[in-house]
């Protein structure tokens, strides 16, 4: 599947996806062409899904992070699909996870402030017919908020 050089490439790209091929090749001990070929292979296999820029939420005015525990009314295929489709259209929801346990979904929501979250809850989330209960957990501070996946064995 992937070897240690691929792992190095992936780790370096996670740190800085704008790193040029020449610089990347130097760091992994290859020339530019095989490094480029490896990256293209990793992209083709879907291991590298996309390249993104990490934004500073606070500097952009998004001060509030909320984790919502959502319980559905009924677990029918129709209501589950309706809920998931609706959540996918909500830009405030950065993550939606179908989970096992005391609730059905865990949502990661980012909004400018408590008032905007209240409006989101009132006008978007709670109006979904599939939603029975919502518990909100407000983030006081992020101790660890890492986007880098450690893949070295």
Residue 6 CA to residue 41 CA, distance in Å, equals: 10
Q: What's 79's domain CATH number?
A: 3.30.70.920
Please report whether residue 151 resides in a domain. no
pLDDT(73) > 80: yes
Please report whether residue 13 resides in a domain. yes
Look over the chain and give the mean of its residue pLDDT values, rounded to a whole number.
Answer: 95
Q: Report which secondary-structure segment, H or E, holds 128.
A: none
Please report whether residue 124 resides in a domain. yes
Average pLDDT rounded to a whole number, residues 111-122: 98
Residue 106 CA to residue 134 CA, distance in Å, equals: 10
Same domain as 92, residue 65: yes
Same domain as 133, residue 78: yes
Please report whether residue 149 resides in a domain. no
Same domain as 94, residue 39: no
- DSSP one-letter code for 136: E
Q: Is 72 helix (H, G, I), strand (E, B) or coil?
A: strand
- DSSP one-letter code for 103: S
Average pLDDT rounded to a whole number, residues 63-78: 96
Where would I find the H helices in the chain? 4-15, 21-28, 32-44, 77-88, 114-120
pLDDT(153) > 80: no
Residue 139 CA to residue 151 CA, distance in Å, equals: 28
Please report whether residue 104 resides in a domain. yes
- Domain that includes residue 16, residue range: 4-44
pLDDT of residue 129: 92
Where would I find the H helices in 54-148? 77-88, 114-120
Please report whether residue 78 resides in a domain. yes
Residue 11 CA to residue 45 CA, distance in Å, equals: 17
Please report whether residue 53 resides in a domain. no
Average pLDDT rounded to a whole number, residues 95-100: 97
Same domain as 132, residue 66: yes
Same domain as 73, residue 34: no
The pLDDT tens digits for 36-52 are 999 999 999 999 999 99
Same domain as 124, residue 78: yes
Residue 44 CA to residue 63 CA, distance in Å, equals: 37
How many domains are contained in the chain? 2
Same domain as 111, residue 79: yes
């Amino acid at each position: 599947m992937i070897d240690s050089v691929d792992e190095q490439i992936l780790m370096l790209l996670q740190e800085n996806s704008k790193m040029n091929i020449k610089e990347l090749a130097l760091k992994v001990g290859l020339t530019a062409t095989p490094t480029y070929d490896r990256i293209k292979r990793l992209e083709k296999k879907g291991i590298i899904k996309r390249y993104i820029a990490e934004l500073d939420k606070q500097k952009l005015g998004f001060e509030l992070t909320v984790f919502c525990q959502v319980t559905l009314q009924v677990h029918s295929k129709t209501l589950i699909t309706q809920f998931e489709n609706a959540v996918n259209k909500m830009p405030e929801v950065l993550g939606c996870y179908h989970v096992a346990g005391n609730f059905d979904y865990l949502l990661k929501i980012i909004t400018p402030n408590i008032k905007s979250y209240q409006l989101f809850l009132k006008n978007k989330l709670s109006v979904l017919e599939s939603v029975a209960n919502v518990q909100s957990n407000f983030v006081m501070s992020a101790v660890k908020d890492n986007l880098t996946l450690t893949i070295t064995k």
